[in-house]
Each structure stands twice: as structure tokens, then as C-alpha cells.
Amino acid sequence: MVRPGGRVVCLELAVPTPRPWGAVYMGTFRLFAPVAAALFARGRTYRYLPASLDGFPDPANLAATMTRAGLREVGYRRLALGAVTLHVGIAGD
């Protein structure tokens, strides 16, 4: 629960735009994320990440969901060439 006026911050992976760059990113991510997980995370940890982006809302849709949930002044900023998105909203009364 967030107190009224409290800030909600969400950092999520995203598929970069424009579409050709997103396709290159996803192909690379699907190939290297499991390898990186095996090398650095000891086993199956984080191997789910590439598949987790399938069907996950894009940044605009996630912002809309946050607004429907009652947050106000919702905004987002793409980081890391669009591969990560930082969402921020303020809890209503």
C-alpha cells in the first residue's frame, strides 16, 4: 500500500523502438540472456526474462494501467536505448 501522495516507481524491461531495433534487441536478448544467466547467476535464475517480455504491456499501456489503478501524474522515461523503462506515478487520496 502507498500512502496518499506517495510515489510509485517501477523499473521494467521493454522492447525498444523503432520496430527493426526492437527485433534486433529481442533476437540478441533471447540468445544471450540464458547464457549470461548460466554464467553469472548459477543455473536457471533469470532465464525466464526473454519470455517474460512476450505479452508484457509496452510502456504506454503500463502507464495507462497505473492511471487506471488510481495513480496520478503518471509518466515514464525510456532508458538504455529503450530496453528499460522507468515509470513514476503519485498515489491518489
pLDDT at 69: 93
pLDDT, one tens digit per residue, over 42-88 is: 666 666 777 777 888 999 999 999 999 999 999 999 999 898 999 99
Determine the 3-state secondary structure of 18 from DSSP.
coil
Better-predicted residue by pLDDT, 33 or 24: 24
**pTM value?**
0.78
Neighbours of 65 (CB within 10 A): 13
pLDDT at 39: 78
Residue linked to cell 554464467:
39
Closest CA to 63 of 9, 1, 17: 9
Phi, psi of 3 (to 5 degrees): -70, 155
| C-alpha distances in Å from residue 70, one per residue of 3, 4, 8, 21, 73 | 12, 10, 11, 33, 10
Domain ranges of the chain: 7-91
pLDDT, one tens digit per residue, over 29-38 is: 888 877 777 7
